Structure 1
Amino acid sequence: MNQELLQPNYYWIRVFDYKFERDQSDKGVMLDEFYTKDSADRESVKELVKDRYCKATSEHIGFAKPKKGKSGMYAIIMESERFFYNRFYAMINTSCFVCLGNIQGKASAFPRAYIGPRIGYQSGDDVFLDLTITAYFCCGECQQKYYRIKSNQEGEFQSREEGDQGAVYGYIYLIYNRKEDMHYIGKSRYIPAFRWQEHIKSGLKGDICDLNFSVLSTVRRDPTLNEEGNMNYLSSMEAWWINKYEMENHKVMNIAKPKITVDDLREKFNDIVVRQEQLTLDGDL
């Protein structure tokens, strides 16, 4: 049998809330992101997306950005591959290649290195789960020892233009403590790197060697709202992602549990996130 026929089809799905007055040429505010490897084609992925949410959302969600002047929710479906699927989902429970300390958590959050027999990874390699070709490290220091160099090759901050000349109102960011498998979600009006530096200095989120930083969603300024309205929306998006992570049974270290105060977002949260939790519970019965 042709081996290619045995390979699953991977797809990357992102769901956006688009408002023409606010987002213009931008994609909109991302509400959900996931991968699938069990769907035969794009049409079956569309059905999967519709089944993932409540009827009110599934009946109106589109699969292309709304036309000029229009607003609405839509999903972008892109072909993907195993590397990106596992980068999103793969979990490991192994030992640090240098100090032998336990490593447990999301695989992509830990420093790693190629240790296979070839020069480097080849197409088709299972980068995250094949421990015969990938070594994991508990922290940057151990990775430095492995490479025998002085500078840390992991965990550099990603640079972003400051607010896209005012068009970007703020960011929702994630700090993941891979040692404790804990997540912290916050919001920032400006470049998240500044907030990350504050968290690092405080030490409350853990040692810098255990932390992984990323941006979950970019929120553009809505010209139809005043400053208070835009801040309220940013705060509601922060609440969205905190509640989403909690409902997905991630360990969240946020002490304050903000509420989604924007009515439109609260309805979408019930349709998208709460609906998915109900489907999961029904599937376990």
Structure 2
Amino acid sequence: MLEVIYRIYEVADKETAAKNREKDLGFGLFSSTSKVENTEILMDCLICDSREQFKEIIKEQYGQAIAFRYSKKLKAGDLYCIIIGEHCYNTERYFNKVTFTCDCCGAIVETYYGSAIYFSDYEVRNRFYGIEEYAKKRFCCHKCKQVYEEREHAKLRPDDEQEFYIQRDMFTEDISGYIYKISKKSTGEFYIGQTMYAPVFRWGQHLKTERFPIKNITDYKFEVIEIVPKTENILEREKYYIQKFYKENPEKSLNIMCTANINTEQIQFDEVKE
């Protein structure tokens, strides 16, 4: 026995096809001509001995002229049959209609198969601090998901008891970045740097280097010495501090002087505001 799942379509006229196409594109959906333009009359399941018998049964029900594939030669009002699957025992996948409302735009979405667009466990954990409520959100398209994510992430603030993964760009929305200083307590040596991201990430990168191996972490002092606003050039501010601390204690500076345009024989300090 052969189990056949199929759909019957009616070819739409040009005006109806255009409206259907515009509606689907508005939701960001891209599919076959049958699903986008033409009108679905029926979806059903038929058990028979063979595909040939299936076609004969369909012809008896819908007329001998019914086609078994879509063709541009078909005219408005013509019927055709599309076989979705054979030997398909998971009929629930095709016949259980799923209806949900997009949590971003409010559109009502109906589908027979597949799943809605939603936030993965990783996204909930990293973008929404593990708040399980966001795992229940559903969206009609990826654009709505992106808009909703950006809107919600911007206003979320975890409490002190929550554990979550931080991302390097979490704290740089309204600033150019940070100027930091790393000092070695045992020698008095220091290093000046800048980062556009959360300072903790840059600190972690330094602890992977030969200059600041993590095994000696108790000997280091990491401090942010300036938060650079959007109106300032972060590279100029870094240059200012490299020059400033070099002038005070040149033997202890770990910065490469050429990166700050410093002439070690005759230091010229820029007039940069503190």
Place the TM-score, normalised by the shorter chain, in its bin. 0.3 to 0.5
TM-score (norm 2): 0.32
- Of structures 1 and 2, the one with the larger relative CO (CA 8 A, separation 6+) is 1
Larger radius of gyration: 2
